[in-house]
Amino acid sequence: MSDPTLLILPGDGIGPEVMAEVRKVIEWTGANGGPRFDVQEDLAGGCAYDAHGTPLTDGTMARALAADAVLLGAVGGPRYDALDFSLKPERALLRLRKEMDLFANLRPAQCFDALKDFSSLKPELVSGLDMMIVRELTSGVYFGEPRGVTGEGDGRVGINTHRYAAPEIARVARAAFDLARRRQGRVCSMEKSNVMEAGILWREVVEEVHRDGYEDVELSHMLADAGGMQIVRAPKQFDVILTDNLFGDMLSDVAAMLTGSLGMLPSASLGAPRENDRPRALYEPVHGSAPDIAGQGKANPIACILSFAMALRYSFDAGEAATRIERAVEAVLADGVRTGDLMQAEGGRPATTAQMGDAIVGKLSGTA
């Protein structure tokens, strides 16, 4: 059987820098008993606009649909700010998510023990933290119609539509309940049912799905604003948080900071299983293209490396290989190896992006 295809889209800014380190881990894994991949690479985001005049060509879209999994770095940057909305690098990501139908976005916020002092919260509040945000990714206000800017001058109106259909809520709720069963068995669903009709429907449908086969999982509800407050007040109360596209975007950045740095957090975006049982899937760090540090060897590659580990676990049934990578990351952090984003406190061994990648591969090989 031929090797599964892994399509790499490094993107813009620090994307290519962190992806170079992931490639080292992919090679190590393939050479050491883990899955081997037919690795392909293509352009997405600002770099695709530079080369082809569009942030994502139809050809790249077709390759992504055909790939066994996609691994993306990050897209965007100030150079593209003035572009028409339809040409912006971020459209590449939104098109990939929509056309691959990646409705369940898994964003774990896990605090490595070595980093508990780097959190903006007190160490005892985050030590041992392991929560998972499940964000709906293909609907809601990101995609609802009508949308646009109409009128002129003082008459201009900006319109976006927050819209959810019941089946869209149900399928992401099932994903969250399934995941909770393999964790601590608790789901907290967040919406604004006090002010939004779509929030009322969200709560109703989540309860229906719960009654219909998931009653072994503990379900609670919170209004999303209070949920944000609780994430910062006492994050360890949460196991799985289920929420919509926009609230999930914001709450996952908030949760990211609890773990010390945005440079630490991976994500998986999953669709429905295909004929071969593998879901369509895209893995990417939660962070963006970080234009402020791009090209300086300062980026932390861990979020992207852990995104590859998630790919091993969720797309290729290689949980053991994934755990090995996660342990290597933990060990390197315990040794005090630190990229700039993890250097607020005293101590630590300063590392460039490449040195961090090498240290992780060194741990995997047992030589560091």
Q: What residues make contact with ligand NAD under the rule CB under 6 A?
A: 14, 74-77, 90, 93, 262-263, 284, 287-293, 299-300, 303, 341
The answer to whether 236 is a known catalytic residue is: no
Distances (CA, A) of 32 to 5, 28, 171, 360, 361: 18, 6, 37, 14, 11
Query: Residue positions in the annotated binding site for NAD(+)?
Result: 77-90, 288-300
Neighbouring residues of 6: CB distance < 8 A, sequence distance ≥ 6: 26, 37, 38, 39, 40, 67, 68, 69, 70, 71, 311
Residue 253 is a catalytic residue? yes
Distance CA 231, CA 247 (A): 13
Tell me the closest approach of the beta carbon of residue 347 to Mn ion, in angstroms.
31
> Is 206 a residue that touches ligand IPM (CB under 6 A)?
no
Can you say which residues are annotated as belonging to the binding site for Mg(2+)?
225, 249, 253
Q: What is the CA radius of gyration of the chain?
A: 20
Of 14 and 364, the one with the shorter C-beta distance to ligand NAD is 14
CB 299 within 8 A of CB 18: yes
User: Does residue number 93 form part of the binding site for ligand IPM (CB under 6 A)?
Assistant: yes
Binding residues for substrate: 97, 107, 135, 225
Taking the complex as a whole, the smallest distance from the CB of residue 299 to ligand NAD amounts, in Å, to: 4
Q: Is 225 a catalytic residue?
A: yes
Distance CA 167, CA 172 (A): 9
Query: Quick one: 45 or 279, whose CB is closer to ligand NAD?
Result: 45
> Which region, judged by CB under 5 A, interacts with Mn ion, from 82-90, 228-236, 241-249, 309-317?
241-249
Nearer to Mn ion, 71 or 265 (CB): 265
Stretch 246-265: interaction string toward Mn ion, x if CB under 5 A: ---x----------------
Cα dihedral 48, 306, 121, 132 in deg (nearest 10):
90
Within 44-148, residue ranges assigned H as helices are 46-52, 58-66, 89-99, 123-126
Catalytic residue (choose from 49, 142, 214, 283): 142
What are 41's strand-pairing partners? 8
Beta carbons within 10 angstroms of residue 237's beta carbon: 12
CA distance 323 to 335: 18
Q: Does 218 bind ligand IPM (CB under 6 A)?
A: no
Catalytic residues: 142, 192, 225, 249, 253
Q: In the complex, which residues of this chain contact Mn ion (CB under 5 A)? A: 249
Residues that bind ligand IPM (CB under 6 A): 76, 90, 93-94, 249
